[in-house]
Structure 1
Amino acid sequence: MGTAADRVGRQLVSLYESEQTSIFGLASYLEFCPQRLPQSSCLVDCVAIYCASWVRANRGRPVKDVLGSHLFKKAIRSLRSATTSNEAYTPEILASMVLFARVLSFTGEYEHSQLRDHHLGIRHVAQQMGLPNDGDSLHAKLISATASSMIQPITVGVTANLKESPWKEQEALGYSPFWEKDSGEEEEEEEDTEADWNTLDGVHTGYNDDDIADDEIADDVIEAFLAAESKFEEVQAYLERIWLPELLEIWTNPPETKEKTISLLKAISKVERLFGKSLRKAWRGCLSVGLVEKFQDPNFFLGHSYSFAGYRFTGSFLTMLAWQSFLLRILYEFNQLLGVRDENLYGKYRDLCVRIWACAPSLSKLDPVSNVSMFKIIMPSFEIATDEELRHIIDLNIELVGHGVTGNVNIQKLRPHIIQLGEKLTGRQELKPA
């Protein structure tokens, strides 16, 4: 039988290696958890409840049922004990906190604002731990994971400025209601030109599937995809840690001179072009070998749709496309603040959003937990959609629990949530504490 760590480790490995169609298997740090289980009973307990939730989702049973289970209560006790001791600042405890947060999110029982304190705790621990040691793959992967989770606090009104840590330890550790007793819980510059974006037939983004030049297809598709992911990590860091606070300040208190805004937009434009060039190459390469497939879809208003080879790949690609769209929206909106309405930039942004929408039909076929998670990633792209286009998206019957939309979904209910999220992720809305 072995120890609890052995048993939980075997279950995690089995699920992780066999699962390709669920949000549960998307976290890249999972593969480094089994070997760390013997070092932390807290990690054992949190991986156990994570696996139990994963199994329930695979069987089509409500994940929320784990909330009253013995495993759930045990994970809460372990987290409460670990985060109020000297153990708190270790990769194992950070992994435990991240996994537990995912379980809470996947149950569909909590609004974003209810998870705020838990995410603040994760951010506090990640900041206090600093950079990972050489060879610590778990910690390194968790850095990316906690950066991604910053979207969650942003959407409920927590500043994205990570230059300083304004939260006192007692506010961030042990404060989460889920831990309380009886609660239930600069890369080197590359040459780039506008031609990198524009195809010969004038398609703004260069995502023209019918005109793929031989030199646009990567010799090594996986290498191209990983290169795009590497650039994405930089984009993520720049936007969350530096640009969003500066953009918000400019938007809410426009400077008397334009120099600061122009300088910031030049930096964002440079990064967007480099990231877009890398992402375009990966997209075209993946199309060429079938990792991304384009289908004629007469039932969808665009007439076509895309599917991806495996859920992990879906999540990574859609996240990168979404973040590129954030950058383009920023450039368009803040150029307007300077009195410049760039129609070419607007066209580029809309083309990319339409590309993202074409992935929505495949998402509607996922299990409800994965469905919600993926829709959250692409939701800001619908800010640009007309009412008719948004109605077609609603007709896909995508699960909207967890987005603040309850009851019968309609445009009037959904539109305000889309606009709010889009504005917060592009520095156009003041982030007031929830």
Structure 2
Amino acid sequence: MPGVPKSTGCRTCKQRRIKCDESWPTCAQCKHIKAECPGPTSLIKFIVQKTSHVSSGRKASPKTIHSGSALRLCKVQYAKVEDEGAGYGLLKVSPRSNPTTVADRVGVRLVGNMERGPIGVAGIYMTYLPELPKRLARSPCLRDSVDLFCSAWTSFRRGHLQEGGLMSMPQYGKSLRSLGRALLNDHHHDVETLAAMVLFERTSRLFNPDPHQAGIHLKAIREVFCQKGPPNIKDELDVAATNEIHWLLLRDDSRNDDNAFLYKSPWKEALSYCADHMVPLNDVRPYLIDDIWVLYGCSKQLYALLPDFQQASCYSSGNEAAAHALQIRHQLQGLRETLKDRPIKLWGKALDAGVITKTPDDDSITGHKYSFSSVFLASMYQKILLVRLAIMRMICTLVDIWGAPDSTLSAECREVSVYVWKMIPYVRSLESVIAIDLIKPILFSYEAADSKEKEYLLDSIQEIDSKIGRYPRDRNELEATLKSGDQILSYFADDSI
């Protein structure tokens, strides 16, 4: 066998390339030159098996071979060797080899980004991220979308995102062209193409400062999603991508007949399976699972009511207009009752279980700081609070225009707002691309605050948005935005619950 020592001669003789007579404790050659004899050489030898790079013609560096390697010693005994301690030891190394392809390098970038910082995005919606590195070699458009996401994320963390925003990055145009080629080459049935489109859309939502540009790719995603057919429930990437698409389509599916296929067999059953097996749901069972589906149904109805509400909120005289406004108010009141006490009842249960912890915080306007065991849990609580506040804000608008005040509305707004404020320290502790997604309930709670609380809310909003630039930088302009019902509801309409 190559590399196995042939004799037990001393190392001094082997280095001098002369025969050792092996007369221990000191061989004749060492005695002749008056050198200390090191004794017999062990027949155990360690061999590092290096990964071969035939295609590239390059050898892996020692640093690469040992980085992240798994070491295993295998000892083999030979029958002709009388010494029981002698043998051939093989040290096997499973190296993390140098990335040799573009797909490998992009995959390493994605893993590196996830290892270097908080990965809250995968805990809320991008649950397909861990599945992407092993699929990049199959799809150039997925590789380019991941490259865009990594570049945008890295630039954002360093504060170097270009003035022109995401669209000014060269990776943006490259990714867009790559997706176009995939669709022209009839790859729209591939789950990798669909995942690339979803990642492209999510990257735009995360790193584009203008929220009104969100959703510009939804029409193409819907068409590819429909043409591809129901998801393969045995493919984890397909399941995770399907869940995100389903959430993205929610904000307009009540007003768009193109989404009717989602509620027919076999789509209905497949989507139900995917939703029930959403990975982050494991973090909230059994604290919030029922509320999520209630939230889904109420959000769907609320989005459908937005056009009618906007029409009713524009005052016009006449019994017909008044009747229409009253009808919208009754529908909003029904949604308000459905969401009442959610998630307040489960808040105590989650505290007792330790998934939510309460600690004193002198800097908080509530005097306490709440922390969550999972970003997804915090996000779902925030979504429920957001929808409740949006409903009550819309009812308030109709009351101001058409009269018939509700004596309980103000107190309930204040109660729900206080729950929002309890979560602000936690939201401020998150990476800003995640925190900005949880900021909307704070916007809706502004009107329920007193003067001191409003200053705290303005400070929190500006801190969270400092790296994003989604809301007005001028404090007076920001305050005017928060007081404008139309502006606030426009932010809600652009949300993807």
Q: Is the 8 A contact 1:353 1:381 kept in 2?
A: yes
Distance 1:415 1:288, change over 3 A: farther
How many Å separate the matches in 2 of 1:91 and 1:321? 34
How many Å separate the matches in 2 of 1:341 and 1:382? 20
Deviations 1:154-176 (A, max 9, x none): xxxxx9973357xxxxxxxxxxx
Deviations 1:202-254 (A, max 9, x none): xxxxxxxxxxxxxxxxxx962231221122222222222x2111212222265
- The residue aligned with 2:348 is 284
How do 1:313-392 residues align onto structure 2 when only pairs under 5 Å count?
313-376=377-440, 378-392=442-456
How many Å separate the matches in 2 of 1:44 and 1:307? 36
Greater shift, 411-420 or 390-399, is seen at 411-420
How many Å separate the matches in 1 of 2:429 and 2:191? 35
- The residue aligned with 1:144 is 246
- The residue aligned with 2:463 is 398
| Higher RCO, 1 vs 2 (CA within 8 Å, ≥6 residues apart) | 1
Match of 1:265 among 324, 329, 333: 329
Q: Which runs of 5+ in 2 are unaligned?
A: 1-98, 259-282
Deviations 1:389-430 (A, max 9, x none): 221223345143432423xx4234443256243243679xxx
- The residue aligned with 2:256 is 163
How many Å separate the matches in 1 of 2:345 and 2:188? 42
- The residue aligned with 1:421 is 487
Q: CA deviation at 1:369?
A: 2.9
Q: Is the 8 A contact 2:182 2:193 kept in 1?
A: yes
How many Å separate the matches in 1 of 2:115 and 2:364? 33
Q: Is the 8 A contact 1:8 1:48 kept in 2?
A: yes
How many Å separate the matches in 1 of 2:153 and 2:342? 33
Q: Which runs of 5+ in 1 are unaligned?
A: 151-158, 166-219
| Secondary structure at the counterpart of residue 120 of structure 1 | coil
What code does the residue aligned with 1:234 have? Answer: G
Q: Is the 8 A contact 2:356 2:372 kept in 1?
A: yes
How many Å separate the matches in 1 of 2:377 and 2:112? 19
Distance 1:19 1:132, change over 3 A: farther
| Secondary structure at the counterpart of residue 158 of structure 2 | coil
How many Å separate the matches in 2 of 1:331 and 1:86? 48
Q: Is the 8 A contact 1:391 1:411 kept in 2?
A: no
How do 1:8-407 residues align onto structure 2 when only pairs under 5 Å count?
22-23=120-121, 25-30=123-128, 33-34=131-132, 37=136, 40-54=139-153, 60-62=157-159, 64=161, 71-82=171-182, 86-87=186-187, 92-107=192-207, 110-113=209-212, 115=213, 119-126=215-222, 129-130=225-226, 132-133=230-231, 135=233, 137-147=239-249, 150=251, 162-164=255-257, 222-240=285-303, 242-252=304-314, 256-257=319-320, 258-376=322-440, 378-396=442-460, 397-400=462-465, 401-406=468-473
| Secondary structure at the counterpart of residue 302 of structure 1 | coil
How many Å separate the matches in 2 of 1:83 and 1:376? 35
What code does the residue aligned with 2:216 have? Answer: L
How many Å separate the matches in 2 of 1:63 and 1:98? 24
Larger Rg: 2
How many Å separate the matches in 2 of 1:13 and 1:426? 33
- The residue aligned with 1:155 is none
How many Å separate the matches in 2 of 1:298 and 1:414? 25
| Secondary structure at the counterpart of residue 224 of structure 1 | coil
How many Å separate the matches in 2 of 1:289 and 1:298? 25
How many Å separate the matches in 2 of 1:414 and 1:164? 38
What code does the residue aligned with 1:44 have? Answer: R
Q: Is the 8 A contact 2:144 2:175 kept in 1?
A: yes
After superposition, the CA RMSD in angstroms is: 3.9
Q: CA deviation at 1:25?
A: 4.5
Equivalent pairs, count: 356
| Secondary structure at the counterpart of residue 295 of structure 1 | strand
Q: Is the 8 A contact 1:307 1:362 kept in 2?
A: yes
Q: CA deviation at 1:126?
A: 1.8
How many Å separate the matches in 2 of 1:311 and 1:273? 27
Q: CA deviation at 1:99?
A: 2.1
Q: Is the 8 A contact 1:32 1:138 kept in 2?
A: no
Distance 1:281 1:360, change over 3 A: same
Q: Is the 8 A contact 1:326 1:425 kept in 2?
A: no
Distance 1:279 1:334, change over 3 A: same
Q: Percent identity?
A: 20
Q: CA deviation at 1:340?
A: 1.5
How many Å separate the matches in 2 of 1:245 and 1:266? 16
How many Å separate the matches in 1 of 2:492 and 2:326? 16
| Secondary structure at the counterpart of residue 313 of structure 2 | helix
What code does the residue aligned with 2:371 have? Answer: S
How many Å separate the matches in 1 of 2:205 and 2:339? 30
How many Å separate the matches in 2 of 1:237 and 1:16? 33
